[in-house]
Amino acid sequence: MTEQPDTPVIASLHNVVKRYAGLPAVDALNIEIRAGEILGLLGPSASGKTTAIALLAGLVPPDRGRITLFGTDVSALAPKSRSVGSLLHRIGVVPQEPALFDDLTVGEHLRFFGELFGLRNPVLEQLCGSVLELMHLTERRDTRAGRLNSGMRRRLNMACALVHRPQILILDEPTVGIDPGSRRQILDSVRTLNARGTTVLYASHHMSEVEAICTRIAIMDHGRILVSGTVPELIERLGADDRIRVRIDRTVPDLRARLSELAGVHHCSEEPDSLVIIAEHGQVRLARVVEVVARCGAEVIQADLVRPTLDDLFLSLTGRTLRG
Ligand SMILES: Nc1ncnc2c1ncn2[C@@H]1O[C@H](COP(=O)(O)OP(=O)(O)O)[C@@H](O)[C@H]1O
Ligand SMILES: [Mg+2]
């Protein structure tokens, strides 16, 4: 999907600060969610993703800043008055930790959440059926949640947030600790919902997932957005940087430090059997890299030069890898 700059903003955080015990969990945070997009909120653990979601969903009040939902300033509204205005009916939140009742069946969960939103039969029955189908849970309708495997629990957790057909779906790390099949089904269902018109905020620390499904990405660290844009826009920000990966025949204690000092090299990190160097105009630097390796008494077995990835962008912005 191409991004329309004039697409209406349907939810936002402006300069929002939220502190816990004096320490900011989000710090002057700015996020705009535009109608029809899948916005990826990408950040390492403790960067403030869950807090940002709790603020949007009205689960915690901000210390400072403005939060809007569908054009209404909700910063000052208590969660109760939000639901009176039915704003909460228009969003669905899939929490990071599945919030399920082990003794209720899959079908009972969906009816329970649907009734919370005021839905009654026959509409409720029909909505439950379509959500079960979307999340590949139809055959598990009568299974108790306590007997589901972790992938099915994640899918049920997501299904519960969908029965009332929210306009914005907010997912908080929905694929943690599950099998590849369930992961694929979750990603596919996010795409399907988006194609049907649902706007999505997808928080994750998995670069590959965010890159695969999001139309726009906001990279978050220490409670702030460092940069946002489409994947090509973000890659563009790396300018002339390239990524050089060299495999060498032995470990040399201070090689990484020596390479980091080379002109044009922005970053050098060590992986199990290779060194990864982010450098301006990589092809120009490669010969110098090989030379330095040789001078340190080692030999280059293989060298690859590629355009950098979003992982590299994150690295160059924060000095850390997403996983680290
Ligand atoms: N309820 C809370 N009480 C105290 N500290 C919290 C609470 N929620 C989050 N934090 C802190 O705020 C920071 C951001 O956390 P969180 O929003 O959960 O990040 P993420 O979802 O990106 O892992 C972390 O340092 C975390 O320890
Ligand atoms: Mg979190």
pLDDT of 4 > 70? The answer is no
Average pLDDT on 224-252 reads: 87
Do residue 108 and residue 250 come from a single domain? no
Sequence letter at residue 235: I
Q: How many domains does the chain have?
A: 2
Question: What torsion, rounded to 10 degrees, do the Cα atoms 186, 188, 194, 198 define?
Answer: -30
Question: Can you give the pLDDT at residue 101?
Answer: 97
Domain for residue 197, yes or no?
A: yes
Structure confidence by residue, pLDDT tens digits, 260-318: 999 999 889 888 888 999 888 888 899 999 999 999 999 999 999 887 778 878 877 77
> Does residue 4 form part of some domain?
no
Same domain, yes or no: 162 and 14: yes
Instruction: Collect all residues with Cβ–Cβ distance below 8 Å to 98 and sequence separation of at least 6.
Output: 153, 154, 156, 157
**How confident is the model over 126-145, as pLDDT tens digits?**
999 999 999 999 999 999 99
In angstroms, what is the span from residue 45 Cα to ligand 1's centroid?
9
Return the minimum-mean-pLDDT range out of 130-139, 172-181, 236-245, 279-288.
236-245
Answer yes or no: do 262 and 298 share one domain: yes
90 and 150 inside one domain = yes
User: To the nearest whole number, what is the mean pLDDT of the chain?
Assistant: 90
CATH number for the domain spanning 301: value is: 3.30.70.980
The tokens of 315 are what?
A: 């690295």
Which domain covers residue 246, as residue numbers? 239-307
Contacts of 165 (CB under 8 A, 6+ apart): 127
The number of the ligand nearest the C-alpha atom of 176 reads 2
The last residue of one of the domains, among 216, 235, 254, is 235
CB atoms within 10 A of CB 56: 23
The verdict on the CB of residue 157 being under 6 Å from ligand 1 is no
164 lines ligand 1 (CB under 6 A): no
Residue 1 lies in a domain: no
The Å distance, Cα 6 to ligand 2 centre, comes to: 30
Q: Could you read off the pLDDT of 9-19 as tens digits, one per residue?
A: 999 999 999 99
Q: pTM of the full predicted structure?
A: 0.85
Report whether pLDDT(1) > 60: no
Taking the CA of 56 as reference, the closest ligand is: 1
Determine the distance separating the centroid of ligand 1 and the alpha carbon of 252, expressed in angstroms. Answer: 39
Kindly state whether residue 74 falls inside one of the protein's structural domains.
yes
Integer CA distances (angstroms), 194 to 9, 28, 87, in order: 16, 29, 20
Residue 182 included in any domain:
yes
Task: Answer yes or no: is the C-beta of 25 below 6 A from any ligand 1 atom.
Answer: yes
**Nearest CA, atom 5, ligand 1:** 20
31 within some domain: yes
The verdict on the CB of residue 59 being under 6 Å from ligand 1 is no
Atom of ligand 1 nearest to the CA of 43: 22
What does the pLDDT average to over 140-156? Answer: 97
Residue nearest to atom 18 of ligand 1 (CA): 50
The answer to whether residues 139 and 265 belong to one domain is no
Expressed in angstroms and rounded, the spacing between residue 25 Cα and the centre of ligand 1 is 6
Among protein residues, the one with the nearest Cα to ligand 1's atom 3 is 20
Ligand 2 geometric centre to CA of 77 (Å): 24
